Amino acid sequence: MQVWEADSFAKISFSAAEQQLDALGYICDNEHIRQLLFSQLQQFSNVQCYFNVEISQLKQGEREVMLQLDNSELILSQLLVGADGVNSFVRQHMQLPLTHWDYQHTAIVAKIRCTAPHQLTARQVFLPSGPLALLPLPDSNLCSIVWSAETDEAKRLMALDDPAFAQALCGASQAVLGPVELVSERQAFGLTMRYASSWQLGRVVLVADAAHSIHPLAGQGMNLGLMDVAALAQLIAGQQAVGEDIAATTMLRRYERWRKAEAQSMIVAMEAFKRGFTAKLPLVKLLRGLGLVAADRLPLLKQQLMAYALGLKGDLPELVKKTTSTVDVLP
């Protein structure tokens, strides 16, 4: 991984070999993950999937949660896990309060073909308007881009035709992979920090984007969500092992305290990171340049930075402790 600032001496690089790993992370196509998960689910007779239906009513009592679908079917459950994304119906219906602020950034996502091979290296350049990431795909000349820019700049970039956008992209990346061309449509996503101040009510609990969302500049949003699920699964398994209620309030509150602390830490870190790299004061720019160069030359500090990025630091679920790499998921 190579990270640098466009108009400064600031730069840092990371190597899997330095961490004694095969890879620092993996770039995964979201649709492929969905297909593989569905194929796994089909192997379990106790799992039922519903498609092309929505929840019309959600009610809960002391012992169960009731869902009524818009096809009139009723579902009863001991526990309802809201994993339904940033616009979570479950969160809104349960009136769980949400704190949010607009990052005033829009992320542009696309696939590009590069003239030079990417050499299995992720690259991120910090521009005055926001970070641009070039993420390597299996084809040695294909990358996915995540270009997070101030909203007005993102609108300007989205309005360009494909050749003009490719030219702007090549300039922004300082032609690190030579001239590029678009091989997919561009998609734009407004970026907002969201944080539910309460993740649990009765037999209903939130995970992942339903509970929190952060800036994608460090590729940690998906990892946070996966760790939420792993933590909740660990606690549910513990309840089952001793024959206790899988929706016990004490257990769900333990999950909430555990994962809220981790999410809060990541939200604060991402906000500091974003503000640190968007500040344009000369002194701040000099300090961050010196900081990156120093981190690049101090092996112990560098290892600590990578440990956090790889999910090897913090109060981790047991399942996560068995893995060693980050996962960036491309929409």
DSSP string, 253-310: HHHHHHHHHHHHHHHHHHHHHHHHHH---HHHHHHHHHHHHHHHH-HHHHHHHHHHHT
Choose between 326 and 140: higher pLDDT: 140
Place of tokens 């209620």: 245
Q: What DSSP state is assigned to residue 68?
A: E
Handedness of CA 163, 165, 169, 171 (dihedral sign): positive
pLDDT confidence of residue 157 = 97
pLDDT in tens, 96-107: 999 988 888 999
For 319, residues 6+ apart whose C-beta sits below 8 A from its C-beta are: 230, 233, 234
Whole-angstrom distance, CA of residue 173 vs CA of residue 244: 55
Sign of CA dihedral 51, 40, 122, 179: negative
**Which range among 113-117, 315-319, 327-331 shows the weakest confidence by mean pLDDT?**
327-331
Distance CA 103, CA 113 (A): 29
- Sorted by where each begins, the domain ranges of the chain are 28-40+58-99+195-330, 100-191
- pLDDT of 84 over the 50 cut: yes
279 pLDDT tier (thresholds 50, 70, 90): low
Mean pLDDT confidence for 64-85: 95
Find out whether 194 and 86 touch, Cβ atoms under 8 Å.
yes
Distance separating the N- and C-terminal Cα atoms of the chain: 21
Instruction: Report how far residue 107's alpha carbon sits from residue 149's, in angstroms, rounded to the nearest whole number.
Output: 6
Helix, strand, or coil (residue 82): strand
Would you say residue 40 has pLDDT above 50? Answer: yes
For domain 28-40+58-99+195-330, give the fold: FAD/NAD(P)-binding domain (3.50.50)
Give the range among 10-24, 210-224, 282-296 with minimum mean pLDDT: 282-296
> What does the pLDDT read at residue 56?
92
pLDDT band for 331, please (50, 70, 90 cuts): very low
- Maximum mean pLDDT: which of 48-57, 128-137, 159-168: 159-168
Highest mean pLDDT among 23-37, 200-214, 289-303: 200-214
pLDDT at 327 over 60: no
Highest mean pLDDT among 24-38, 77-91, 256-270: 77-91
Alpha-carbon distance of 105 to 216, in angstroms, equals 10
- Tokens 């309460």 correspond to 198
What is the CATH class of 100-191?
alpha beta
Q: What is the percent of the chain where pLDDT is above 70?
A: 86
Closest among 271, 295, 275, 294 to 284, alpha carbons compared = 275
Q: What single DSSP character describes residue 322?
A: T
| Segment among 47-56, 137-146, 172-181, 303-312 with least mean pLDDT | 303-312
Of 300 and 266, more confident: 266
Average pLDDT, the chain: 87
pLDDT band at 283 (very low <50, low <70, confident <90, very high): low
Judge whether residue 219 has pLDDT over 80.
no
CB of 212 closer than 8 Å to CB of 298: no
Give residue 123's Cα distance to chain centre: 17
pLDDT score, position 206: 98
Pull the structure tokens for residue 1.
């991984």
pLDDT tens-digit readout, 136-164: 999 999 999 999 999 999 999 999 999 99
- The first and second tokens of residue 331, run together, are 């929409």
Percent of the chain's residues with pLDDT above 90 = 59
Indicate the SS3 state at residue 13.
Answer: strand
| pLDDT higher than 80, residue 120 | yes
